Structure 1
Amino acid sequence: MDIRTPIRLPFHRLPVFPVLVAQGVVLLLAATLLWQFRGTVSGYSGLCGGLTAWLPNLYFAHKAFRFSGARAAQAIVRSFYAGEAGKLILTAVLFALTFAGVKPLEPLTVFGVFVLTLMVSWFAPLLMRTRLSRP
């Protein structure tokens, strides 16, 4: 293998994969509960808000965590910047598409499930398999 060719990890082997699965489960659960107890408009509004948070995180994970190893340090840094820029742009586009194209819509539900889906990443250390050892 050439030094310039970084090692690519498969998507399911990424360290962030359990967090993405948990975010997907939370957004589907929240949308289902909203649909069941508050109606159809709340259900798909929550689904739109959750997908607006989850899809950019999925893109970021794909871009940022695909390289590993010390030799791939430059590729890792470049991919983190590209992933974060793409995540911000994708979030803005998804919000614009949601508010322009989905009628009727409940904005508070959209933002509520959006924030709920993002809050899953706050608990990411609990979802990771590898534990960091203390010095």
Structure 2
Amino acid sequence: MIKQQLAGAAIISMSLLVVGCANAYQSSEGSQSYSSSKVGAITQQTAAGNILADAQGMTLYTFDKDSQGISKCYGPCEQKWPPLKSKVEIDEMDFSTVSRKDGSLQLRYKGQPLYLWVGDKKPGDTTGNGIKGVWHIVPVVK
């Protein structure tokens, strides 16, 4: 009887978790969340503070050499700093998209193209912050 009750509670909990993740992400710190189904970005509490991350919790970065909201990171650069791509055009809150040379869409935050860093291995890692003085985490102020 107790095993059946625990199994039922686990199924209900998993169902609620799946539904919650499909709609939006809310960090445990109660920080701002964005619709992961459309925007693909969340806020993540890290040792570096409250920062922007992709829907899997991987830290996002901006590149100082980008200008006028257009990416300058191609070839070997984009191998190390994959652009955060979007399947649909976005223009909501502080987020928008910009077309890359290959026609794909890259997500921008406040006009800045967003990137991942291949050196980050798990959610919350910020090992790309400050590399060559031109790569920066994206702080999110509450």
TM-score, normalised with respect to structure 2: 0.25
Per the normalisation by structure 1, the TM-score is 0.26
Compare the two structures and name the one with the higher helix fraction.
1
Q: Which has the higher strand share?
A: 2
Q: Greater relative contact order: 1 or 2 (C-alpha under 8 angstroms, separation 6 or more)? A: 1
